[in-house]
Structure 1
Amino acid sequence: MQNGWDTELIERCRKGDSNAFRQLVDNYQGMVYVFAFRMLCNEEDTKDVVQETFIKVWRNLSKYNTALKFTTWLYKITANCCYDHLRKGRQRKQHVEIDQVKHVCEQMLQSNMEQKIINEDLAAVISQLTHQLTPKQKLVFTLKELEGFEVNEISTITDLSPEKIKSNLYLARKNIREQLEKM
């Protein structure tokens, strides 16, 4: 369920109100952009996926089931767009230099910064390491570890069974752990 304001906007959009759709885009564009950027790590590709996502939302709003949270449905569309983008290989390859990641880790270990800064740096390193995951592993890992979704909601977003999600999550974590150990 979404709040009453979203419900009203969605109903107005379904009736063809482009101003209501503009408001819906304004409300959720940031969320879609952040998630897409985490998946694609490329600004141009992210902008393309955000635009593609909202085009699909506009075209399919009549099919939206109001029993599902709007944000979950929006994440599902965004995830599918990102996944398709990754699978089709349209994303420019992002090469993570192991030496560069190693340098960041060494700096983290040598300094006496506050724990928060260390955690932020480690999160940045892990985010960089996700580039080497398969598209499905990256999608599941991003939704669980970076976006904070539970397995049942990831299942709704991705149409993967909880077992497939757990398997892909296990492989993603294992891959990242192995890369960190090499450093």
Structure 2
Amino acid sequence: MEASNSLKEQPPIIEDDDLETVLLCQKGDVEAFGVLVDRHQKKMLNVAYRMIGDYEEACDVVQEAFLAAFRSVAKFRREARFSTWLYGIVVNCAKNRLIELKQRKARVRSEDFFPEASSGKEGYGCGCQAEPLQEDSVQERLEKKELEARVQECIGLLDDGYREILVLRDIQGLSYGEIADVFKIPPGTVRSRLFRARNSLKDLMRSRIGDFS
């Protein structure tokens, strides 16, 4: 009986392709962490962008998240895959940034009552240049871009708890178990929230996009 109980107490073995690299990071290997950044930054940027809806802000969030992960990688206990642990950090950073953005917008609205206080500066932007479009596909690409922008707008209107689960499941393809690990909730709760999130998104798309194609 004692042997049986000891087996039950052992944590499940989690397969993780990042494990060897993570162990190097935990020993202080900075270059190994750079490997993890290269491996995961695209997926993490996609999550941050889908949650925030602004590319430059998403880039800042991912940079902040990787810095936080680097500082706390020694605390990673392999209770989930490294990528799952990293998703949790990115989601938390994105949620905090959304709060900051809402506060910033509130300040801007209050400053609208005092136009003389504005700096008058123009031309803010990331300085990126758009890729040239082929003449025969300009209309098609513009329509696709507009549709994507409207869908992203609808995602941004979802409640935070719905948006983050929808992004991780339907856009990133995480399993219910992985999402449960990210948010520390039962898989059944993930399923119910995802169901409500999908319905909410459908309603928003019907009202804002309609027959747009």
The TM-score range, normalised by the shorter chain, is: 0.7 to 0.9
| Unaligned residue ranges in structure 2 (runs of 5+) | 1-14, 106-142
Q: 47, 52, 63: which is aligned to 1:40?
A: 52
How far off its partner does 1:19 sit? 1.7
TM-score by length of 2: 0.63
CA–CA distance in structure 1, aligned partners of residues 40 and 88 of structure 2? 13
Q: Is the 8 A contact 1:79 1:158 kept in 2?
A: no
TM-score by length of 1: 0.72
Identity rate of aligned residues, in percent? 30
CA–CA distance in structure 1, aligned partners of residues 79 and 189 of structure 2? 25
1:13 is aligned to 25
CA–CA distance in structure 1, aligned partners of residues 205 and 44 of structure 2? 29
CA–CA distance in structure 1, aligned partners of residues 43 and 82 of structure 2? 12
Structure 1 or 2, whichever has the larger Rg, is 2
Judged with a 3 Å threshold, the aligned counterparts in structure 2 of structure 1 residues 67 and 160 are, in CA distance, closer, same or farther, namely closer
AA aligned opposite 2:23: E
- Residue 164 in structure 1 maps to residue 189 in structure 2: yes
How far off its partner does 1:46 sit? 0.7
Judged with a 3 Å threshold, the aligned counterparts in structure 2 of structure 1 residues 163 and 17 are, in CA distance, closer, same or farther, namely same
Question: Equivalent residues in 2 for 1:11-160 (5 A)?
Answer: 11-86=23-98, 88-90=99-101, 125-160=150-185
CA–CA distance in structure 1, aligned partners of residues 35 and 70 of structure 2? 12
Secondary structure of the residue aligned to 1:47 is: helix
Secondary structure of the residue aligned to 2:179 is: helix
| Unaligned residue ranges in structure 1 (runs of 5+) | 94-117
Q: Which has the higher helix share?
A: 1
Q: Is the 8 A contact 1:83 1:139 kept in 2?
A: no
CA–CA distance in structure 2, aligned partners of residues 152 and 123 of structure 1? 29
- Size of the aligned set, in residue pairs, is 156
Query: How far does the alpha carbon of each residue in 1:28-61 deviate from its partner, in whole angstroms, 9 at most, with x for none?
Result: 2122112211211112211111111111111111
Secondary structure of the residue aligned to 2:87 is: helix
Query: How far does the alpha carbon of each residue in 1:134-179 deviate from its partner, in whole angstroms, 9 at most, with x for none?
Result: 1111101111211122222211112233343334323322222222
CA–CA distance in structure 2, aligned partners of residues 176 and 144 of structure 1? 14
Judged with a 3 Å threshold, the aligned counterparts in structure 2 of structure 1 residues 81 and 9 are, in CA distance, closer, same or farther, namely same
The alignment's C-alpha RMSD in Å is 2.6
AA aligned opposite 1:166: R
Judged with a 3 Å threshold, the aligned counterparts in structure 2 of structure 1 residues 122 and 172 are, in CA distance, closer, same or farther, namely farther
Secondary structure of the residue aligned to 1:149 is: coil
Query: How far does the alpha carbon of each residue in 1:66-103 deviate from its partner, in whole angstroms, 9 at most, with x for none?
Result: 352111111121122122322x242677xxxxxxxxxx
- Residue 181 in structure 1 maps to residue 195 in structure 2: no
CA–CA distance in structure 2, aligned partners of residues 12 and 180 of structure 1? 46
Q: Is the 8 A contact 2:154 2:204 kept in 1?
A: yes
